Amino acid sequence: MVIFMGIYVNPGNKGFREAVQSEIYVDKTGLIALMNRYINTEQKYICVSRPRRFGKSMTLKMLAAYYSRGCDSAGLFKGLKIEKDKAFLKHLNQYDVIYVNMQQFLNRAKNQDMTVYLEKAVIGELKESYGDLFSEQACILTEALERIYAKEEKEFIFLIDEWDCLMRERQESEVMQKQYLDFLRDLLKDQPYVALVYMTGILPVKKYGYHSALNMFREYSMINQKMLEEYTGFTVDEVKGLCERFGMDFDDTSNWYDGYRFKKYKHIYNPKSVVEAMSCQDFSNYWTSTETYEALKIYMDMDFDGLRGDIAHMLGGGSIKVNTNSFQNDMRNLKTKDDVLTLLIHLGYLGYDSGSEETFIPNREIAGEFENAMSVGGWAEVMNVLKASEKLLEATLHGDTGSVARMLDQAHSEVASILTYNDENSLGCAIGLAYYSARKDYKIIRELPAGKGFADIVFLPLPHTDKPAMVVELKYGKTAGAAIQQIKDRNYTQALGGYSGETFLVGVNYDRDNPNKPHSCVIEKVQK
């Protein structure tokens, strides 16, 4: 039997070959060894959800190149990590592969049923290799695969890209969504011809009440990537290697593109942005430039209690507790603030720490996107604070305590109008926002372990700047002098590590009991 290389059935390896031959290629072939373990097991159904431009399609091209009988990829994987795996040759180019991009079918089908269009295309290619097993009468894809397996015992590996495109682009049609999920269930669940399914998209599998049509899938999402963490983006070691190769500063790279946090890998970088920064020799917004900020603004402006204040808090460097369990894995049925925050985690606009169950803005690139969305309108309070932040930093570095206190008064007053709390968190949010522009020259860390406690806010100078380090301690109803003394007594400057330059100690107090609720500030310069 002659096996034909097709578009959807047994594709070639051109996509992966181009990736390997590119100027920047980071070897993620270790993932293949994991997939080999799952072939023909109860764990063979895998759904991986990640933000756009996080390497999902590239992973599918790699898997297609490895498994597809339509090509010979032995030379392509030479020298890569998977070649050292003991099962490398056992599975190399040994399977019939069906590789479909659902977005393409949705676009091409237009007003037609997307699944009918898909079935026609895939069956057409199956006939090229297995035509003798087909009757003249039309049949659905499931029946075609059942016939092939019954006669030849051929098993298929399914690679499905953009599986959730219909959920994202046909949000209003619950009927269409359910029909689509039923199609996938009938095609894949408990079918003897299925050896492995690797399905990827932005959203996890859609939930309907307590049941899911695709409940056989093990899910790997931005909430929990499980053992796929190191394949979600670039790791610290991978980014350090790229920085050395291209002569780019690692700390600057981290400030721009780090911040996605998992259980084992605490620092995962946006791969698209890192590659572009290395290639272009310039730090900029690369990932966010592929989609307009208007999409983000829609979710930011949803009128859920406390959402606006939480976003302001995160923009100021804080973290927010979030319940991710109620999210229905779609972009339409958003009923609570937690649903919106969870969606933004899946979209890549927020990072998530599963240990603390907190969400946060991961890096400078994403913070810039939130700022852009706010600038359109409706966030005047926050924008006023952000616009004044450069003057505040300048006043701090000049030791102008009167101006610093006055500007902090204004900043706290501005953001208080959208916050649902009036405590130390409110003050911390105001201070974080007030120093927002410092992100250009500093790595800003809130609640950093240092000495005998936690420093409230630490400003670590980035390599490109000659500005001094700053340690900021906040007090609520005490004195700014007491804040300075705490920095000294608890040795918070220890958080600066190997930094040996000039350091500013900044003590800030908010006197809530005073009718005027003033802020006070004390600044001291020390040589570390």
Element (H, E) at 46: strand 45-49
Instruction: Give the pairing of strands 320-321 and 96-101.
Output: unpaired
**What would the two tokens of residue 447 be?**
């609640």
pLDDT score for 208? 57
pLDDT tens-digit profile of 481-516? 999 999 999 998 888 877 888 999 999 998 877 766
Residue ranges and CATH numbers for the domains of the chain are 14-220 (3.40.50), 229-373 (no CATH), 379-528 (3.40.1350)
Please give the mean pLDDT across all residues of the chain: 90
User: Which of 283-287, 444-448, 511-515 has the lowest average pLDDT?
Assistant: 511-515
Average pLDDT estimate for 269-275? 96
- Indicate the Cα dihedral angle 71, 6, 8, 93, nearest 10°: -20
Of the chain, the percentage scoring pLDDT greater than 70 comes to 94
pLDDT score of 210: 45
Helix (H, G, I), strand (E, B) or coil at 370: helix
The pLDDT, as a whole number, for residue 160 is 98
CB atoms within 10 A of CB 155: 19
Neighbouring CB atoms inside 10 A of 45's CB total: 22
71-117 confidence digits (pLDDT tens): 999 999 999 999 999 999 999 999 999 999 999 999 888 777 889 89
Q: Report the pLDDT value the prediction gives residue 430, as an integer from 0 to 100.
A: 86
Q: By the 8 A CB rule, do 346 and 203 touch? A: yes
pTM for the model stands at 0.92
Check pLDDT > 90 for residue 245.
yes
The model's pLDDT over 154-184, given as tens digits with 9 standing for 90+, comes to 999 999 999 999 888 887 777 888 889 889 9
Tokens 């290799």 identify what position? 129
Which residues, 6 or more positions from 430, have their beta carbon under 8 angstroms from its beta carbon?
A: 316, 385, 408, 411, 412, 414, 415, 416
Orientation of helix 236-246 relative to helix 250-257, angle to 10°: 130
| Cα-Cα end-to-end distance for the chain | 75
**Which pLDDT score, from 0 to 100, does residue 498 have?**
78
CB 277 within 8 A of CB 257: yes
Strand, helix or coil at 493? helix
**Strand ranges for 218-341 from DSSP E:** 218-220, 320-321
The CA–CA distances, whole Å, from 486 to 197, 317, 432, 497 equal: 57, 22, 20, 19
Please identify which residue in the block is written with the tokens 């791969």: 271
Tokens of 484: 């300075």
**Residue 248 in tokens:** 């780019």
Rounded mean pLDDT of 359-376?
92
Q: What is the pLDDT of residue 137?
A: 61
Q: What is the pLDDT of residue 422?
A: 66
